[in-house]
Amino acid sequence: MNNYLFTRFFLTLSVLCVGFLGGCKDQPDESQEEPEKTYPIGVITTNHGDMHFWLYDQTPHHKAKFVELANQHYYDDFTFNRVVLNFVIQGGCPDSPQYFENSPYLLDPEFVDSIGHTYGALGMGRDNNPKKQSNACQLYIVSKEAGLPNLDGNYMIFGKIIKGEEVLESVEHVQVDSLNKPLQTVSMKVEVLDLTSSQIETSYGFKP
């Protein structure tokens, strides 16, 4: 092998291996990129249409429990069983002792001053327990356009509507009996979509 060929051969090895005696170093695998961050979007499907909700990071335990129960299809066994015009629409477990006494879904409050009962706010119900613990089996959505600030600091809000206000209005105006129970069943199916920032911007018009 002449000097020219030997030099080219040695330079080729140097490019492939960093340090002849130390062996070749692992080269980075550019195909294994970090997965893009996703955000959970709550979707409540009814026979009136779908409502989509942003879930607040500032209420982590309520957010996590909602996601957990939604992924277990827990809420799908219930309906919107209480509808009060210019107040709230309420779904999930009814206001009965069997769902509130010794409930496994109780959560301590995570009140945040900047998160209140504005129009379309998504909250968790509770009974009159002194600790103001939420019962994750019950959900409600504020339907009063002016909001319900009198409930702030007493009941937990953990999300807000970002799509489907017309569905909220439609459910709010169903006919109800003297106990505010809809005369015709308002079905309820809850799921969680994990969407990227770009998908959220495309679908809802804002960046997380």
Residue spans of the domains in the chain: they are: 38-204
Q: How confident is the model at residue 4 (pLDDT cuts 50, 70, 90)?
A: very low
Please choose, from the candidates 160, 165, 158, 112, the residue with its C-alpha nearest in 3D space to the C-alpha of residue 134.
Answer: 158
Per residue in 75-119, pLDDT tens? 999 999 999 999 999 999 999 998 998 899 999 999 999 999 999
Per residue in 110-135, pLDDT tens? 999 999 999 999 999 999 999 999 99
Per residue in 21-76, pLDDT tens? 444 445 555 556 788 999 999 999 999 999 999 999 999 999 999 999 999 999 99
Longest dimension (CA), the chain: 102
The topology (CATH level 3) of 38-204 is Cyclophilin (2.40.100)
Q: Residue with structure tokens 């010794």?
A: 102
Per-residue pLDDT for 6 more than 70?
Answer: no
Report the pLDDT averaged over residues 139-158: 98
Per-residue pLDDT for 20 more than 80?
Answer: no
Report the pLDDT averaged over residues 166-185: 98
Report the pLDDT averaged over residues 180-198: 98
Per-residue pLDDT for 200 more than 80?
Answer: yes
Structure tokens at 203: 């679908």
The Cα 81–Cα 79 span in angstroms is 6
Please choose, from the candidates 78, 103, 102, the residue with its C-alpha nearest in 3D space to the C-alpha of residue 89.
Answer: 78
Per-residue pLDDT for 208 more than 60?
Answer: yes
Q: Looking at residue 13, what is its pLDDT? A: 45
